[in-house]
Structure 1
Amino acid sequence: MASKQQSLGDAKSAKLDEFYTQLSDIEKELRHYKAHFKDKVVYLNCDDPRESEFFHYFSYNFEKLGLKKLIAACYKSQNVDLFSTGDNERAIYLEYTGDKDGDRVPGRDEIEVKCFDGDGDFRSAESIALLKQADVVVTNPPFSLFREYVAQLVEHEKKFLIIGNMNAVTTRDLWPLVQAGKFWLGITRAGTGQMWFRISDDFPEKTGQRTDENGQRYQTIGSSAWFTNLDHAKRHEELILYKSYDPAEYPTYDNHDAIEVSKTVDIPVDYDGVMGVPVSFLGKHNPDQFEIVGITKTWFGAATKTYPKQTQVSANGATSAVGKLNDGAVLKVETPPRGKTYYQVDDEYFIQTYPRVLIRRKEATS
């Protein structure tokens, strides 16, 4: 049995992961996947049905999507009495099998409310039992547990459409799945690579928050994106390119057998070797056009060179002895760059890029 201290810690972590996706963002993405939901059981785990727009979307579009069943579950629900269970301390899950009275509205008497014996955590045996019933999982899972959450979906071979942080795909846990084509990015993108999530009134004050004219608070979280293993037409759109390869414009890495392409739009149309592109390329990756061959992370093991002790020189000229040069793609430069952090090894100068996805053009097939 969990101690009181553990329970308080879990509750605090859960509170910091309570980000509610806006209905407009759900509608923009979900409209591209209608064919994937017909006659399917959809499970919204990690999803408080009283607060979640996911439950609203699927319950009100149940017949339009042709769903078989909708299940929504959440972690240690509060105010459960909204669904007349008479118990506001229990974690609950809801089951909905469609409109019964013909008004096309999911009424309370049409939604079956059940209580978990435990806390409703997506990792619990009770939640996993519901997961096994599902065909497709759709939700905004806890960002802090994203890697564990995806691993569970893959283990149980579930189709899914979920929201997470782009940086998660560069971790050693998830990258092999991305490279193997086990999941990929969804369709819609926020203008800055960010999404605004609704938060509660008692959510801690943090940077990246705003309040609308009605007093509703919102939080933005880094480079948020949709992730899925449901195929969609946009994933097979050919990336239109126009630049020709010029060695002067595309330097070769000092520690990877690949050229640096700092912007996806600048991928040369006539280069057949390995190229390092920004992680944001994954949002435009067409698996019929390019093969993903690796990533410039130390644990991936693709580097052709390691570096001895180096000195880091920051943009303001401050120096420190650190060993970060061996983690990433490295470019050798003739002179120290101005206004940029660089590394010095003896009398040689290097700069390090952000993580790069290593890709190669696929041969055209007839």
Structure 2
Amino acid sequence: MAEKAKNKNLHKAKDSKKDEFYTQLSDIEKELRHYKEHFKDKVVFCNCDDPRVSNFFHYFSYNFENLGLKKLITTCYKNQERDLFSENKSEKAIYLEYNGDKNGNRVPDAEEIGIIHLKGDGDFRSKESIDLLTQADIVVTNPPFSLFREYVAQLVEFDKKFIIVGHQNAITYKEIFKLIKEDKLWLGYGFNGGAGHFINKHYEDYATATDRKEGMIRVSGVTWFTNLEIRKRHEDLELYKSYTPEEFPTYENFNAINIGKTKEIPVNYNGFMGVPITFLDKYNPEQFEIIGLGISSSGTEFGVEPYKAEHKKYRKEIQKRGAVDGDLYMMTNGIVDVPYARIIIKNKRL
């Protein structure tokens, strides 16, 4: 299936608000193993899940004692439409509360899980859900991509720690990028190959034949966002290339050089550099300073020209040249004319 068709499919999911992709248990286990020290004596809240099918609830309930949790709370959005993705068919939204094993078998038995009906629909923005949020220490879930800005804004407002799934394009949202620049949010360890398989009942699987999982949709560019300290964000990016003006051209209307691939950041350049948004997966705030979001089709903080309608004529040429580190661009006379999103950075070590 062509990339255009896959993107159309995701936009369709976003527009219809049916973008609730249930996360695989294996992906949750792979990411959360890096955060175990943060969970001891903490209340974990999963507020965008149907606990009867949620792998987040499964992970935390079965690892409750191992993680040393204090309490697990999971809310379920009420199914108000027949074709809504939620498995909840009851007339009322519910939340589940688990306080750990009581009979010694270290398994979350049904009689050990408290099921409580909510008065409202269980939306994370409802008063009941917010009241539960205030009890929580750490929020872990996969929120709807269409509501990502609003969801993160709520977590920040209530000063919560979190580990959540989102699309890397959210990096270019001004509200999200501001948090990244201010060192209040960063990327986690991520999904294998920068793509995740999610259970989704509305759309067929558009994965390639070599990367297909029955009954799932493959979404490229998904990642984990967090504000919990992890070892990864303090590891240096190893640099090996030397700067030359021929290989690293300067933007026409901003004094920064263009970097095609994160791994090609020159070791000896002291000025501003425009790097792909995928750089944030390797970002160490002790090694680099983020200056701002340089070039974007949705606007810019700088005097670098955003993508314009007249640039459409370059699209065929862009596609022929292919993707560079997840970012398409073309060059004319050695000058980068139509770059897409770039993060402007500076090496702190020089």
Shorter-normalised TM range: 0.7 to 0.9
> Deviations 1:114-136 (Å, cap 9, x if unpaired)?
01101000000100000000000
1:302 lines up with 2:294 in the alignment? no
**Amino acid paired to 2:232:** K
Matching residue of 2:343:
357
Matching residue of 1:292:
290
What does residue range 312-327 of structure 1 map to in structure 2 within 5 Å? 312-314=312-314, 316=316
Per the TM alignment, residue 172 of structure 1 is displaced from its structure 2 partner at its CA by: 1.7
Percent sequence identity is 54
Matching residue of 2:57:
55
Matching residue of 1:9:
none
What does residue range 96-135 of structure 1 map to in structure 2 within 5 Å? 96-135=98-137
Asked if structure 2 preserves the Cα contact closer than 8 Å seen for 1:210 and 1:218, the reply is: no
- Tell me the TM-score normalized by structure 1: 0.80
1:73 lines up with 2:59 in the alignment? no
Alpha carbons of 1:210 and 1:62: their partners in 2 closer, same or farther (altered >3 Å)?
Answer: farther
> Deviations 1:49-76 (Å, cap 9, x if unpaired)?
1111110000000001000000000211
Tell me how far apart the structure 2 counterparts of residues 195 and 50 of structure 1 sit (CA, whole Å): 22
Structure 1 residue runs without a partner (length 5+): 1-11, 79-86, 318-327, 336-348
Tell me how far apart the structure 1 counterparts of residues 308 and 75 of structure 2 sit (CA, whole Å): 52
Tell me how far apart the structure 2 counterparts of residues 211 and 246 of structure 1 sit (CA, whole Å): 39
Asked if structure 2 preserves the Cα contact closer than 8 Å seen for 1:329 and 1:356, the reply is: no
Matching residue of 1:198:
199
Matching residue of 2:37:
35
Matching residue of 2:179:
177
Asked if structure 1 preserves the Cα contact closer than 8 Å seen for 2:190 and 2:222, the reply is: no
How many aligned positions are there?
318
Tell me how far apart the structure 2 counterparts of residues 209 and 91 of structure 1 sit (CA, whole Å): 37
> Deviations 1:304-334 (Å, cap 9, x if unpaired)?
66999956423558xxxxxxxxxx9998733
Matching residue of 1:278:
276
Per the TM alignment, residue 209 of structure 1 is displaced from its structure 2 partner at its CA by: 8.3
Alpha carbons of 1:128 and 1:278: their partners in 2 closer, same or farther (altered >3 Å)?
Answer: same
Per the TM alignment, residue 350 of structure 1 is displaced from its structure 2 partner at its CA by: 6.5
Structure 2 residue runs without a partner (length 5+): 1-14, 81-88, 318-326
Per the TM alignment, residue 302 of structure 1 is displaced from its structure 2 partner at its CA by: 1.2
3-state SS of 1:113 partner:
strand
- Tell me the TM-score normalized by structure 2: 0.83
Tell me how far apart the structure 2 counterparts of residues 126 and 134 of structure 1 sit (CA, whole Å): 13
Two-structure CA RMSD over aligned residues (Å): 3.0
Matching residue of 2:188:
186
Tell me how far apart the structure 1 counterparts of residues 310 and 238 of structure 2 sit (CA, whole Å): 40
Matching residue of 2:247:
249
Matching residue of 2:220:
222
1:239 lines up with 2:237 in the alignment? yes
